[in-house]
Structure 1
Amino acid sequence: MKSILKLTLLLSVLGYTPLMAQDLHFPERNEPWKVAEKNQFIYDLQQLNKAVEFAKANEYSGSRDLRRAILEGFEREPFHEILGPTKKRGGPAGLILKDGYVLASWGDTKRVDMTFSVTKSFLSTVAGLAEDVGLIQDTKDKVANYVWDGTFDGEHNAKITWEHLLQQNSDWSGELWGLKDWADRPPNEGGLDDWKFRKLNEPGTVMEYNDVRVNVLAYSLTNVWRKPLPMVLKEQLMDRIGATTTWRWYGYDHVWTEIDGLQMKSVTGGGHSGAGLFISTEDMARFGMVFLNHGKWDQQQLVSPEWIKKATQPSVPNVNYGYMWWLNQKGPRHWEGVPEHLFYAAGFGGNFIVVDQKNGLLIVTRWLEPSKIGEFVKQVYEAF
């Protein structure tokens, strides 16, 4: 105990205060987030307000009718159509938290909206929970050893591991729920036939953002858990962090699978054909706090710190991407003037959960023009 006290004193003298779980605020269910008291933290309020005004002034330029925004945003995809629920969105909203205390908030933070590919970070977490309890032994295992119904048959697909699916570099080839992998986000250059009949990349070598393959991961995890993934997320995480009962995780309307004699919906990992996670800003913040606190909600370990560390490691083909979390490493998606240790969830229309474990900073922002996120986060940091 004396050595710990000496170390704490030394770190304090050096100007570093270690972040301890007891220093963080974790609101009870239905309890509002506490607003930081005056002088509780040292920051430039005027500069922080400037950042908030920037977020409010740079609303996502797409239609608030998300059905229309989706169809316009993905109009170049062959056969693209809305297959799952959508919802008209609200205006810009967000929270900036320091150690779990609110420094700033704007918009309707209780409103439930679509969150698109932020869903992927929740899906990744369901995979982490499966590894934590031993349902998946290791993410480097081949998925065909767990899912044997033909989804991973063939010379190419048989090589695919859980890690390849999580890092979106599997190049899984096939059709799921009537959707063909090659029809999802085809490249701008070359003809569609060139893309359709291309030579497949070796799993683990090339990242390709592709929702069909993400949905293959969701389907595979449904087989591993043997229950609907929204139920898994609710029981294993969301109930334990005091999330509201308002969030929903949808699949496509026609997608049902049978496991153990029970019909269940296989959910999506995004919303570019509808569906995905519908959630409030405040519940997104609760989820983010688990990752800020290395997998703990208050003193309760919900996700292993080993998983979070693994999930936020750069993948080989994309230094800015881990297990469905984006990383602020030096690379194509690097935000200048912002710490490189940040990681974040990101979704269509400007939905973000930004996590800074070292500084106890959590940012949730909704409906920010996506090209403005780097500048917004930089302005937030300029307040400190």
Structure 2
Amino acid sequence: MTKTLLTRSSCALSLCLTVVSAAVPAIAQATDLPIASPESVGVDSRPLVQLSETIRNENLDVRSFLVVKDGQLIYERYAKGLTRDHNYELYSITKNVTALAAGALIDEGKSRLDEKVAPILAKARPDLKDALADKQAIELRHVMSMSTGLVYNFKPTDDPIYYGAPDRLKLAAETTPTVAPGTAFDYTDVNPILASATLGADAGMPLPDYVRSHFFEPMGMTHYGWERADDKGLVSSGWGLRLRAVDMAKLGMLVLHGGRWDGRQLVSQAWVRTMTAPSSAPWYGMYWWINDIVATEPETHAMGFKGQFIVSLPERNAVVVMTSMLPIEGGLRESQNVLAIRRMVKDFVLPALDNKAHAVPSAARSKALAQELQLAAQHQGKPAAPADPTDTPRL
């Protein structure tokens, strides 16, 4: 078993990252979430059993599905022989962690939402000064709310912005502004490249180093990694982060509790409110989505390509996590994997949380849940999204 550590290299100012590995013992972590049975916290386990059965019957490639209630892990489903210690490529959930880091830097006075990103990047990369000349009006708030007005001509496969990039920041700097910053929402992965470089410069260290010391270590996270750096060492803030499902749940809890973790305020409550309030679109804040999974009550979530989700339900003090390889067809907010998590939460998770009057502990219910989770552990599921090597879960 290996733990992926993030260390700084000596290249290109503060825009660098080197990934190394070191052996760690294969033991359960004492800092993981406490475990409880669903019924012990007033949750009916029967809909959760039905959820797992549905995943198996429909042969869905759901690798992990977790439910946390009142700070306790009450449902922990893994498939394909995976365990709690496996981590997953989270794709755009990397943006959500970046948003938390931005808030912490703003709290420290090292970043500002109204700071202009072009001068910061030109100082770090003088060779890009000319390319950044037409981007002087772009502020950090535009980068994080997907409203920079920049357009990048994405190629359908093997785009250098994602794979084998020699200089990802150069690609982002050379994009063309089409509308004034702050005037239109446009979800493009140019923006998190600018975010990674800007926030790393503000922090005075590579962004993954800052995130590790400010969030991952205080929150007891393990088996994490931030990969796919370009040839200059810059990671994107839009993909490449690998976390265990249980650590994804911790991030959901951090947001649920207004930035507080184990008695320590890791990021201000004011920033969590800003981050999860509408900005450039009614359903989008600062890299966090709003009421797009559950529309009937307050909800905020992180969403990653191919079906990675962290859903926070503040009125219920609950968090739902899923990692999967589900279909990507249907567009950004209506892809098949988004429809799947909406259905799972609406048809199974919410009824389990709602049915407190019938959440009666019994040996029969405990046995039914345990037996179903054993069946789930061996279920393979049929991958329904194109697989990259990074999609393989790792220890």
TM-score with structure 1 setting the length: 0.69
- Looking at structure 2, the residues matched to 35 and 266 of structure 1 have their Cα atoms a distance apart, in angstroms, of 38
Matches within 5 A, 1:57-206: 92-107=63-78, 108-136=83-111, 138-144=112-118, 146-149=120-123, 156-172=134-150, 177=168, 180=171, 200-206=178-184
Paired residue for 1:7?
Answer: none
- Looking at structure 2, the residues matched to 227 and 343 of structure 1 have their Cα atoms a distance apart, in angstroms, of 29
The alignment-based identity, stated in percent, is 26
Structure 1, unaligned runs of 5 or more: 1-27, 62-90, 184-195, 257-264, 329-333
User: What is the one-letter code of the residue matched to 1:211?
Assistant: D
Change in CA separation of 1:43 and 1:253 when aligned onto 2, cut-off 3 Å: same
2:207 to 229, 232, 235: 229
Paired residue for 1:302?
Answer: 266
2:247 to 272, 283, 287: 283
- Looking at structure 2, the residues matched to 306 and 178 of structure 1 have their Cα atoms a distance apart, in angstroms, of 30
Asked whether 1:248 is paired with 2:219, we answer no
Paired residue for 1:270?
Answer: 238
Instruction: Please give the secondary structure, in 1, of the residue aligned with 2:310.
Output: strand
Instruction: Please give the secondary structure, in 1, of the residue aligned with 2:181.
Output: coil
Once superposed, what is the RMSD of the aligned Cα atoms?
Answer: 2.8
Deviation of residue 95 (structure 1)? 0.9
1:343 to 300, 311, 334: 300
Instruction: Please give the secondary structure, in 2, of the residue aligned with 1:362.
Output: strand
Aligned length: 293
User: What is the one-letter code of the residue matched to 1:248?
Assistant: G
2:313 to 337, 345, 356: 356
1:213 to 183, 188, 191: 191
Asked whether 1:41 is paired with 2:41, we answer yes
Deviation of residue 356 (structure 1)? 1.4
Instruction: Please give the secondary structure, in 2, of the residue aligned with 1:211.
Output: coil
Deviation per residue, 1:18-54 (Å, 9 max, x gap)? xxxxxxxxxx953443322464322322112223333
User: What is the one-letter code of the residue matched to 1:140?
Assistant: D
Change in CA separation of 1:59 and 1:269 when aligned onto 2, cut-off 3 Å: farther
Deviation of residue 290 (structure 1)? 1.2
Instruction: Please give the secondary structure, in 2, of the residue aligned with 1:382.
Output: helix
Deviation of residue 287 (structure 1)? 2.0
Paired residue for 1:25?
Answer: none
- Looking at structure 2, the residues matched to 216 and 60 of structure 1 have their Cα atoms a distance apart, in angstroms, of 35
Instruction: Please give the secondary structure, in 1, of the residue aligned with 2:271.
Output: helix
Change in CA separation of 1:38 and 1:295 when aligned onto 2, cut-off 3 Å: closer
Paired residue for 1:23?
Answer: none
Change in CA separation of 1:58 and 1:214 when aligned onto 2, cut-off 3 Å: farther
Structure 2, unaligned runs of 5 or more: 1-27, 153-160, 162-166, 327-336, 355-395
Check whether the contact 1:157–1:173 (CA below 8 A) recurs between aligned residues.
no
Deviation of residue 146 (structure 1)? 3.6
Change in CA separation of 1:210 and 1:29 when aligned onto 2, cut-off 3 Å: same
Paired residue for 1:3?
Answer: none
Change in CA separation of 1:182 and 1:142 when aligned onto 2, cut-off 3 Å: closer
Check whether the contact 1:51–1:376 (CA below 8 A) recurs between aligned residues.
yes
Deviation of residue 362 (structure 1)? 0.5
Check whether the contact 2:169–2:194 (CA below 8 A) recurs between aligned residues.
no
- Looking at structure 1, the residues matched to 350 and 68 of structure 2 have their Cα atoms a distance apart, in angstroms, of 12
Paired residue for 2:155?
Answer: none
- Looking at structure 2, the residues matched to 289 and 172 of structure 1 have their Cα atoms a distance apart, in angstroms, of 33
TM-score with structure 2 setting the length: 0.67
Paired residue for 1:193?
Answer: none
Identify the structure with bigger relative contact order (alpha carbons < 8 Å, sequence gap 6+).
Answer: 2
User: What is the one-letter code of the residue matched to 2:95?
Assistant: K
Change in CA separation of 1:358 and 1:156 when aligned onto 2, cut-off 3 Å: farther
- Looking at structure 2, the residues matched to 116 and 57 of structure 1 have their Cα atoms a distance apart, in angstroms, of 27
Check whether the contact 1:94–1:109 (CA below 8 A) recurs between aligned residues.
no
- Looking at structure 1, the residues matched to 238 and 55 of structure 2 have their Cα atoms a distance apart, in angstroms, of 23
Change in CA separation of 1:231 and 1:305 when aligned onto 2, cut-off 3 Å: same
- Looking at structure 2, the residues matched to 98 and 253 of structure 1 have their Cα atoms a distance apart, in angstroms, of 39
Check whether the contact 2:307–2:324 (CA below 8 A) recurs between aligned residues.
yes
Paired residue for 1:53?
Answer: 53
Check whether the contact 1:60–1:350 (CA below 8 A) recurs between aligned residues.
no
- Looking at structure 1, the residues matched to 99 and 129 of structure 2 have their Cα atoms a distance apart, in angstroms, of 19
Check whether the contact 1:173–1:181 (CA below 8 A) recurs between aligned residues.
no
- Looking at structure 1, the residues matched to 55 and 173 of structure 2 have their Cα atoms a distance apart, in angstroms, of 35
Deviation per residue, 1:255-302 (Å, 9 max, x gap)? x2xxxxxxxx3211234xxxx101111121122221121111121111
Asked whether 1:319 is paired with 2:254, we answer no
Change in CA separation of 1:345 and 1:38 when aligned onto 2, cut-off 3 Å: closer
